[in-house]
Amino acid sequence: MKMKALAKTRPAPGLELIEIDVPTPGPHDVLIKVTAASICGTDVHIYRWDEWSQHRIKPPLILGHEFAGEIVALGEAVTGLEVGMPVSAEGHIVDHTCAACRAGQAHLCRNTQVIGIDRHGAFAEYVLVPAENVWVNAPDTPPEIASLQDPFGNAVHTAFAFDLAGQHVLVNGCGPIGLMAIPVARAIGAKTIFATDVNEQRLALARQMGADHTLNPRHDDVVGEILAATEGDGVDVVLEMSGAAPAIRTALEALRPGGKVAALGLVGNALELDWSDLIVIKGATVQGIYGRKIWDTWYRMRALLQTGAVNLAPLITHRIALDEFERGFELLMNPGDEVVAKVVMYPNA
């Protein structure tokens, strides 16, 4: 049986819609019919075929790691799962033998294979996933919301890095993950939430997601306004999502002495900053964040979504069929005046 799939077929910009055989499950695999798949910033990097992609991606490759679907076939050794279950998947396939895995930090496995990056992904009618990576979704969770759990996990992991209860929090960068972090910070007790971005449409979404103050460094005095709103102290915690050197320096300047930074955003080039004044003398704590804790973060996500503490629906700004992928990537790369956050594709529509 054949299926449609969206793939990087050659080492050049762009993607192609192809036909390929539906994969057959091995003994420990699960075959999933994809009901929704959202486009990630990483997928955009691969589409553009930038320097990172050229060193990491080996065509031909089916993209996509943010998805939801329904189990349609099980490998003979799989237990605890059933055909028909609504599922998503943890995208990091780990070795269980490296030092990080053995220390209970599987999300930092040095031999990780990532779905849609190192092996075929979910921009297809069907995707094959190891059974141990499958996450069973609540039956009442809409597939498009369930497809957002991969990036939502990054936001939850970042927000839970430090105790935010009663704290002044700065979400530095309002891409989809930064926007997701805003209601998480609110749900776990943040006193005041500041959000920064250079895109006014994203700042409007930040306000919709619950930010108290939104600031655009292109025309706002970010540090001055934060200090004024915190009686001269600065923020207690920065959730760094931007990966932008100027934004990172500004956030550190707005951080109070003894404050903490949970850093998720990846910086493209080497970062220059005043290490002595902004980190050492300030007594700042900086914690790097990668991926999601397996499976601790997923249980936190489930609680936040099922209790209604976090609503991700406003972040789904566009819905398209798989064969409309060019429109979806164009929206993310060149949004113009449109509000664009998450673009969800429906491979089996």
157 is catalytic: no
Between the CA atoms of 103, 105, 106 and 109, what dihedral angle is there, to the nearest 10 degrees?
-90
- How crowded is the C-beta side of 146, counted as CA atoms within 13 Å? 23
**CA geometry: angle 52, 241, 254, nearest 5 deg:** 135
Active-site residue (options: 42, 158, 230, 297) = 42
DSSP 152-197: HHHHHHHHTTS--TT-EEEEE--SHHHHHHHHHHHHTT-SEEEEE-
Contact call for residues 316 and 180 (beta carbons, < 8 A)? no
Active-site residue (options: 9, 45, 285, 317) = 45
Q: Cα dist. 250→109, 164, 227, 273, 289 in Å? A: 32, 20, 12, 10, 20
Assess whether the previous peptide bond of 298 is cis (omega < 30° from 0). no
45 is catalytic: yes
DSSP 278-327: IIITTT-EEEE--S--TTHHHHHHHHHHHTTS---GGGEEEEEEGGGHHH
Q: Treating both helix axes as pointing N-terminal to C-terminal, what angle do 176-187 and 200-209 enclose, rounded to 10 degrees?
A: 20
CB neighbour list of residue 13: distance below 8 Å, 6 or more residues apart? 47, 48, 49
What is the CB neighbour count within 10 angstroms for residue 305?
A: 21
Active site residues: 42, 45
